[in-house]
């Protein structure tokens, strides 16, 4: 007898509440386990539709070090934001990232690990998008580096984290365009210049901070969601392997704690969608929750999916049965 997890019980309960407004089949009453598994945290995110791949124009990254003080900090104490704004070209427009929420015009981060914050600002100038890094030297702000880009119109995501574990925070920028595609660039600022060390396309991005595990700090990582033609997101969970961003060895915890709750929420919103159940089933398989995945398939196939989706369900069923028989 297959006993569903507490998570799946919650999903079914939400489905039954909606049953009066849909053609869902009647489901058997489920018994909660006496020792339930930990319930994953819900993630409330909104993903855009699948984009057409877009190859942006070549990125120019260069270091511009000026020996001339650009803003004097002596005398009256002034707001850093106001000081940096005075240094920008006439007619420039500052861009603020959409995510994470609460983005600011001037970001203050210690990028080089010397204990002093640098000021980072992104703005449009001469039909280019420029990200400038200003460093405080003695009593003045000096422009230390620039990142120039074209082919974009706004910033979807910006953050700063030591991705490659070199003691310096990298600049993480997700560029947006008029299309729905997004383009991730990660820049490392060294002693001499700025270098792009990674680039990926995505629909949704989630930065995964390092967490304590076995008394050691695990590496920070990035989860990139890309919507495929079958309506399922392919998800790459990446971290630095010493030379590049590469898939981690086991993404099961991420599927359990982030992906399964996301599709569970989609089903609560529309339990009559066979495609939602297909997406949930796929994520349950990747979270290694095979019993729940089998029940999810049974519900999804009872909703009379079209021929293509039915074949996809059957393919997932074969994967599930193979895993269950193996165990």
For 167-212, write each residue's pLDDT tens digit: 899 999 999 877 767 999 999 998 768 899 999 999 999 999 754 4
- Rg, C-alpha atoms of the chain: 24
Least confident of 10-14, 202-206, 233-237: 10-14
Alpha carbons within 13 angstroms on the beta-carbon side of residue 3 total 8
Could you give the percent of the chain with pLDDT greater than 90?
55
Residue 43 CB neighbour total at 10 angstroms: 14
The whole-number pLDDT of residue 51 equals 38
The whole-number pLDDT of residue 68 equals 31
pTM of the complete model: 0.73
Q: The tokens of 243 are what?
A: 């030379």
Res 116 pLDDT > 70: yes
* CA 279 vs CA 123, 162, 266, 284, 321: distances in Å: 39, 33, 9, 9, 18
d(CA 105, CA 123): 9
Domains along the chain? 57-198 (2.40.128)
């Amino acid at each position: 007898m297959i006993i569903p997890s507490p998570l799946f019980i919650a999903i079914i309960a939400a489905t039954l509440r909606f049953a009066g407004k849909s053609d869902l089949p009647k489901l058997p009453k489920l018994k909660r386990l006496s020792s339930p598994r930990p319930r994953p945290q819900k993630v409330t995110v909104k993903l855009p539709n699948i984009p057409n791949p877009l190859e942006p124009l070549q990125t120019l990254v260069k270091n511009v070090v000026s020996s001339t003080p650009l803003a004097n900090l002596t005398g009256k104490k002034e707001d850093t934001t106001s000081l940096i704004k005075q240094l920008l070209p006439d007619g420039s427009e500052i861009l603020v990232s959409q995510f994470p929420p609460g983005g600011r015009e001037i970001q203050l981060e210690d990028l080089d690990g010397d204990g002093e914050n640098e000021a980072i600002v992104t703005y449009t100038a001469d039909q280019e998008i420029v990200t400038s890094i200003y460093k405080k030297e003695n009593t003045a702000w000096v422009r230390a580096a620039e990142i120039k880009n074209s082919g974009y119109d706004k910033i979807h995501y910006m953050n700063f984290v030591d991705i490659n574990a070199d003691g310096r925070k990298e600049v993480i920028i997700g560029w947006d365009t008029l299309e729905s595609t997004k383009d991730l660039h990660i820049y490392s600022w060294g002693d001499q210049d700025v270098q792009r060390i990674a680039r990926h396309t995505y629909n949704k991005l989630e930065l995964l901070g390092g967490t304590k595990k076995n008394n050691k700090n695990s590496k920070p990582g990035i989860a990139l969601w890309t919507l495929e033609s079958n309506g399922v997101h392919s998800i790459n969970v990446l971290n630095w392997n010493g030379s590049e961003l590469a898939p981690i060895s086991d993404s099961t915890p991420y599927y359990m704690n982030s992906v399964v709750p996301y599709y569970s929420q989609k089903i609560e919103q529309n339990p009559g969608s066979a495609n939602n159940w297909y997406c949930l089933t796929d994520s349950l398989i990747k979270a290694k929750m095979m019993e729940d995945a089998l029940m999810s398939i049974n519900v999804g196939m009872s909703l009379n999916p079209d021929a293509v989706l039915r074949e996809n369900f059957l393919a997932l069923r074969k994967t599930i049965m193979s895993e269950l028989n193996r165990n």
